Chain A
Amino acid sequence: AQSVAQPEDQVNVAEGNPLTVKCTYSVSGNPYLFWYVQYPNRGLQFLLKYITGDNLVKGSYGFEAEFNKSQTSFHLKKPSALVSDSALYFCAVRDNQMNRDDKIIFGKGTRLHILP
């Protein structure tokens, strides 16, 4: 069964500093990996995805994530944090070999606080 782990409930970063939100996954085949962001009382917004190809994926709002197959990780990063980046971030995975069951499984979320 596929699963996603976000080991940190909360990450605090000073504005202007680099940020990392961690994600590890487990699938039986090869993964499709996603990052989403949620602002208060809102649905989720897509940030970026890894399907195949370059391990470094660039997404919206200056975010990027690096797929590391050996470590089964897909950490979200940004070189310089903004206060407006404060939100709840979800990592998600789908096994690309599951033809009939195309569920995407979400991690529990990491709350990112950017301190002014």
Chain B
Amino acid sequence: GAVVSQHPSWVICKSGTSVKIECRSLDFQATTMFWYRQFPKQSLMLMATSNEGSKATYEQGVEKDKFLINHASLTLSTLTVTSAHPEDSSFYICSAREVSVIPDSGANVLTFGAGSRLTVL
């Protein structure tokens, strides 16, 4: 089945540094990838929709200059947390939807990465 690899799984960084998280679809092409943030005991908060070859669409309240998203190919999207601060510490999860195999791509299942836990000291 479809597999999404997310790297790194864990990252600890100092305040003020930038951290890049990669999301790769290993055995399928994904025109659309989604980035979520999950707080402890909370639901997934959609941060942005990443579209291959175009700018990401950010959800209301998400700072696009803080969370840089790049989707340079059909198999890779990256999230860069710039000038990270302790309040950015969280569990970040990406998901990918395969290039539509049925007419309505919305019915296709999302495949999720295993998540990346960011701790900013």
Inter-subunit contact B106/A42 (CB<8 Å): no
Q: How far is the CA of A44 from the CA of B1 in the complex (A)?
A: 14
Cross-chain pair count, CB within 8 angstroms: 59
Q: How far is the CA of A45 from the CA of B104 in the complex (A)?
A: 21
Inter-subunit contact B43/A107 (CB<8 Å): yes
Inter-subunit contact B93/A98 (CB<8 Å): no
Given A44-B93, A49-B107: A103 touches B44 (CB 8 Å cut-off): no
- Specify which chain A residues have a CB less than 8 angstroms from the CB of B49 in the assembled complex: 103
Q: How far is the CA of A104 from the CA of B46 in the complex (A)?
A: 9
Q: Which residues of B contact A (CB under 8 A)?
A: 4, 6, 32, 34, 36, 41-44, 46, 49, 91, 93, 95, 97, 104-107, 109-115, 117
Q: Which residues of A contact B (CB under 8 A)?
A: 32, 34, 36, 41-46, 49, 51, 90, 94, 96, 98, 102-109, 111
Q: List 9 A-B contacts (CB under 8 A).
A: A32-B106, A41-B115, A41-B117, A44-B44, A44-B95, A49-B107, A103-B49, A109-B43, A111-B41
